[in-house]
Amino acid sequence: MSAVVKTVTPFTQRDLLLEALDELGVVYHEKGNAIMTERVDDYGAQRFIYEQGAYRFQHDSSPWRKLNFKEWKTVSAFLGAVEKAYHQAYERLQQRLAEEERRLLEEERKRFVEQQKQVVIQRAKKQGYNIKEIRKGNKIQLQLVRTTY
């Protein structure tokens, strides 16, 4: 007999898992290294326990046990929904990081241009120029004028 087994995505990021649970409207509270959900079975609240680098879902393993919990009766259905929401939260995080990276690069660019400008101005002043600065769109124009005798 052969079989194909697929595991749920390991929930390694606590913040993303909480964001996913929030997205799904799951009520939870944190207790130590566990995230206790409002899903309750014979052994109490079903929970995500942090171990070996990821949050794993602990629940009653009775196969016939189905809970009337929102739209996810089975553990499999619930974890499927959490996994999907987790992936979406991960994508949002990636977008935020990319945006932050862009913002930092833009700030660095502006600092560099400003530094160029200041160096030219300081040197021009030392060489006796009067300086007028004009903004033309994204460009800076420095008009240096010096009277010769």
CB of 110 to other proteins, least distance (A): 9
Q: Per-residue x/- marks for other proteins, 81-120, CB under 8 A?
A: -----------------------xx--xx--xx--xx-xx
Among positions 6, 7, 25, 136, the unique one binding other proteins when judged by CB under 8 A: 136
149 binds other proteins (CB under 8 A): yes
Compute φ and ψ for 58, nearest 5 degrees: -105, 130
Sequence-separated contacts (24+) of 47-54 with Cβ below 8 Å: 48/11, 48/17, 50/14, 53/10, 53/12, 54/10, 54/11, 54/12
CB of 124 to other proteins, least distance (A): 6
Which residues, 6 or more positions from 29, have their beta carbon under 8 angstroms from its beta carbon?
Answer: 35, 36
Site residues for other proteins per CB under 8 A: 104-105, 108-109, 112-113, 116-117, 119-120, 123-124, 127, 129, 136, 138-149
